Amino acid sequence: MLEVRGLDKQSQNVYRLILLNPTIRPDELAARLGEPEEAISAALHRLSALALISVDEVGTVRAARPEIGMEHLLAPHQPELAAEQEQIEVSQPAATELITGSADLARGRDDPGAERLVGIEAIRRRIGELTRGLASEIMTFAPGGAHRTSDLAAAKTVDEPMLERGIRMRTIWLDSIRNDEPTLEYATWLQSLGGQARTVPTLPVRMIIMDRKYALLPVNTADATAGAVVLHGQGIVAALCALFDTIWETGTPLGKSQPQDARGLTPQEAEFLRLLGQGLTDQAIAVRLCVSHRTAQRCATRLMQKLGARSRFEAGFKAVTRGWLSPEQ
Please give the torsion angle defined by the CA atoms of residues 116, 120, 122 and 124, in that order, rounded to the nearest 10 degrees: 110
The single-letter code of the amino acid at 226 is: A
The fraction of the chain above a pLDDT of 90, given in percent, is: 19
pLDDT bucket at 109, cuts 50 / 70 / 90: very low
Return the pLDDT at 77: 47
**Domains of the chain in sequence order:** 9-64 (1.10.10.10), 83-253 (3.30.870.10), 261-321 (1.10.10.10)
pLDDT bucket at 138, cuts 50 / 70 / 90: very high
Return the pLDDT at 99: 52
The single-letter code of the amino acid at 293 is: H
CB 127 within 8 A of CB 194: no
CB 278 within 8 A of CB 186: no
SS3 content of the chain, % helix, strand, coil (to 5): 55, 15, 35
Separation between Cα atoms, residue 311 and residue 315, nearest integer Å:
6
pLDDT tens digits, one per residue of 116-132: 888 888 888 888 888 88
